[in-house]
Amino acid sequence: MRRKFGQSLRLGIAPDGLALLRVGGWPTASAVVLAVQPVEAGAPDALENGLRALLSAAAEDGLRRWPLTVVLADDLVRLWQVAPPQGASRPGDLQAACALRFQSLFGAMPANWRISADWSARAPFLAAAAPEALLALLEALAREHGFYLVEVAPQFVAAMNATRRQRRPGAWFGLVHGDVLSLAAYDGAALAAVRTAVIPPGADREWLEAHVAREALRVGVGRPERLQLSGPAPRGWASSAGRLKFACTLLEDEDPAPGWPLHAVLARTGAKA
């Protein structure tokens, strides 16, 4: 398949499925689902076998030498907030603080995880860790089948990066994916925590307001003046007359991919098309 200017591939990886998209293009960008493949969650080697089959088929379809971005479902990764130690002056100080915080939260040192972060010696920062074995597999398969592996990112991080210019200082950021709401809680301009919760069926604006208030208490920060949400959030969550506890902005005016499989929506997170 001949690649047009600006086109690339996006691969979504979740414990129970995979999706491959073609995105971008000029002068009009678009997103097309190329493949969706279920995976038996938790079965030995199921994810590896699924990835091998999917990328092998894509290469045979003429997609070799295409740029490939990978979006990992958040339940495959670890996300956490790190407060830099006082007097930190070297990258090693921040890396050590990051590893100790990982151990405190998840009960083990991150020996089998690859960590990336918005490293900062001046303010709390977001860190993410992905399984080393999964990243090594992706790198090996990309080399084997001739893809240019551009980036591997957790879904929450991909959504945050894509909406960075739209976000207001001090506002909380949230991502809706399926029946899960993930929140980045801020204390002023400083990241305070990343929290995830299941959205109950029929959750309305009152549920959202109560949930945000509870999370603010748990984290120990004030309730935000504004919440900015990415993903297909319920329309009723947006700010309306009489809603005074906090403003809520939906960063997508409408569902950008109505009727798409959930794994395809995962793969599309952060794409411009």
> Regarding beta strands 67-72 and 8-14, do their DSSP bridges make them parallel or antiparallel, or are they unpaired?
parallel
pLDDT at 44: 86
Domains parsed from the chain with CATH numbers: 8-72+131-157 (3.30.420.40), 75-130 (no CATH), 164-250 (3.30.420)
- Note the pTM of the prediction, 2 decimals: 0.93
**pLDDT per position as a tens digit, 54-103:** 999 999 999 999 999 999 999 999 999 999 998 887 899 999 999 999 99
What residues have CB less than 8 Å from 106, skipping those under 6 apart?
78
Of the candidates 192, 270, 187, the one whose C-alpha atom is nearest the C-alpha of residue 231 is 270
Burial, 249: exposed, middle or buried (Cβ in 10 Å; 0-12, 13-18, 19+)?
A: middle
pLDDT in tens, 217-242: 999 999 999 999 999 999 999 976 55
Tell me what pLDDT residue 59 has: 96
The low-confidence residues of the chain, meaning pLDDT below 70, are 1, 240-244, 253-257, 273
Cβ-contact 71, 39 below 8 angstroms: no
pLDDT, position 240 = 62
- The per-residue DSSP string of 199-249 comes to PPTT--HHHHHHHHHHHHHHHTSPPPSEEEEESS--GGGS--TT--S-EEE
Which residues touch 207 (CB under 8 Å, ≥6 apart)?
200
